[in-house]
Amino acid sequence: MSSSLRSMTGFGSGEIESEDLRIKVELRSVNHRYLKTSYHLSDRFSSLQGKVDMRLREQIGRGAIHLSVFVEDLIEDSEGLDVDLIKSRYAQICKLRDELAPSQEVRLTDVVAMNQDNADQAGSSNEKADDQLLEVIDLAVADLREMQKNEGDRLQEEFLRLLLQMEKALGEIEAALPEAMEWLRDRYHNRIQQLVGSAGGELDDQDLVREIGVLAEKSDITEELSRLRGHVDEYRKVVGEGGRVGRRLDFLTQEMFREANTMTSKLPRHDLAHTVVGIKVDVDRLREQTQNVE
């Protein structure tokens, strides 16, 4: 079963809100030869960078990915020493001591320990926030991947259009090639006869045919046409398979461009040049768009 192409370019976001926290994640992706990740994490989540990186690499194959995390506290932070709170609790405990046990000493360390209980609760809350961050990253990745799939579908349509256009041009050249090669042989025949005659020499028919064949072979683009058509067929097959095929497609476009360049230098007749140049333009467009594929 084939899967969709995906572009490396895209944007995705996700957001989760709990009783005490709102976390939003934004992902931006652009073309890159490999998978490259960068982050803008708050200090609260800096220790999670390894897990975040693994999370992204499990779901994305290629591209330069930048992740930004935005955190909003919905309740007042209770971490650390709250001096006003400690003073208030100390006064309350002293008042209670005076009523119940006047001889009992009220130690400041006991009051601070009560405040530390709040810090312990905050630590538990931080673990919950860590889980929430990983969850919202998954939401952002899903959003990014959906956008990349939609762009990949558009690219696939463009690829198929260009391939059809190239196949039409190849067909035109293949149809015109036999007549063009015959015209070239006649031209070589006349030219050789003129040169030999002007030099006062003679060349038998067998030698003449051999020389014409050698010269004509240098302008025969039959093999280049065949290889280029094979690359077009393979490109269409790979596009149909889908998935992470960007590197394979990029290799095929390089091979296409090489064959098109060779054809340009070997053309047997200049009236075919316009068609070959059109093929090169289509291959260049294909190569440029292929660089977007994951």
Q: Let me know whether 265 and 176 are in one domain.
A: yes
Q: Let me know whether 253 and 179 are in one domain.
A: yes
75 C-beta neighbours (distance < 10 Å), count: 9
pLDDT digits (tens, 9 = 90+) for 157-211: 999 999 999 999 999 999 988 887 777 777 766 676 666 556 555 656 565 566 6
CA 106 to chain centre: 65
25 C-beta neighbours (distance < 10 Å), count: 26
pLDDT score for 198: 63
pLDDT band of 287, cuts 50, 70, 90: very high
Q: Per the domain annotation, does 50 fall within a domain? A: yes
* DSSP assignment letter at 23: E
pLDDT score for 37: 94
Q: For residues 195 and 186, what is the distance between their CA atoms, to the nearest angstrom?
A: 14
User: 68-72, 225-229, 245-249, 282-286: which range is least confident on average?
Assistant: 68-72
Q: Per the domain annotation, does 26 fall within a domain? A: yes
Q: For residues 4 and 144, what is the distance between their CA atoms, to the nearest angstrom?
A: 14
Quote the number of domains for the chain: 3
pLDDT score for 146: 97
Q: Let me know whether 88 and 69 are in one domain.
A: no
* Consecutive H or E run containing 103: none
Which is higher by pLDDT, 279 or 121?
279
Q: Let me know whether 62 and 170 are in one domain.
A: no
Distance (Å) of CA 28 to CA 24, 120, 247: 14, 36, 21
221-226 CB contacts, 8 Å cutoff, 24+ apart: 221/173, 221/177, 221/262, 221/263, 221/266, 221/267, 221/268, 222/177, 224/259, 224/262, 224/263, 224/266, 225/170, 225/173, 225/174, 225/177, 225/263
Residue 16: strand, helix, or coil: strand
pLDDT digits (tens, 9 = 90+) for 21-60: 899 999 999 999 999 999 998 888 888 999 999 999 999 9
Whether residue 129 is predicted with pLDDT greater than 70 in this model: the reply is yes
Q: Per the domain annotation, does 46 fall within a domain? A: yes
Question: pTM above the 0.85 mark?
Answer: no
Q: Let me know whether 26 and 47 are in one domain.
A: yes
Q: Per the domain annotation, does 1 fall within a domain? A: no
Q: Per the domain annotation, does 5 fall within a domain? A: no
What is the extent of the structural domain holding 99?
83-117
What value does the mean pLDDT of the chain take? 84
Which is higher by pLDDT, 44 or 14?
14
Q: Let me know whether 57 and 29 are in one domain.
A: yes
Q: Per the domain annotation, does 3 fall within a domain? A: no
pLDDT band of 241, cuts 50, 70, 90: very high
Q: Let me know whether 206 and 159 are in one domain.
A: yes
Which is higher by pLDDT, 73 or 144?
144
Which is higher by pLDDT, 103 or 251?
251
Q: Let me know whether 171 and 238 are in one domain.
A: yes
Q: Per the domain annotation, does 4 fall within a domain? A: no
